[in-house]
Amino acid sequence: MYTLEALSAREEIRDVLHRYCKGIDRRDWALVRSCFADDHVHKHGDYSGPPDEFIGFASDVLKCIPGTHHSISNVHINLSEDGQTAETEANFVAYHYIEPGNPDFAACETQGKATDWIVAGRYCDTLKKREGSWIIVRREAVHDWERASEASSAAVTS
């Protein structure tokens, strides 16, 4: 049986994971940054390094992608006995619409065509409770599979 403190911690941790997805999809880099500790180590695709550099990497990749949608499911949370550290694994699916005419980049070749790029995997995180709030101190984003196909059409709105 969970204590109220453990239930609260689990919801706060889920909120951090969802806040990250919202920030990425809205290009709200301050919101993305708020999910990660200053001493955070991030591994995601070809990127490995600190959070501010990850934001530069992500914003560079997404500048040619006007529409994304990141979803998280099957969030597994293992709280430490003292309730100050957690290990999580959350499945994600990230949908990306790449407009026609954009140059290819290492992760997805489009041959200049409108492309739907779907990435599915897992966010494997270590979080700590610092100054009363949960924050990610380590993330490894594992890509389990990817698919790119020519998009028939898309309506992207902000």
- In whole angstroms, what is the distance from residue 96 CA to residue 39 CA? 29
Contact 77, 86 (CB under 8 A): yes
| Residue 92 in this model has a pLDDT that exceeds 60 | yes
What domains can you pick out in the chain, each with its CATH number?
4-150 (3.10.450.50)
Instruction: Give the predicted TM-score (pTM) of the model.
Output: 0.89
Residue-wise pLDDT tens digits, 127-146? 999 999 999 999 999 999 99
Task: Pick the closest to residue 24 from 8, 38, 46, 44 (CA basis).
Answer: 44
Residue-wise pLDDT tens digits, 14-56? 999 999 999 999 999 999 999 999 999 999 877 899 999 999 9
Question: Which pLDDT does position 102 carry in this prediction?
Answer: 73
| Residue 158 in this model has a pLDDT that exceeds 60 | no
Upper half-sphere CA count for residue 47 (Cβ side, 13 Å): 20
Cα dihedral angle (108, 92, 88, 55), rounded to 10 degrees? 50
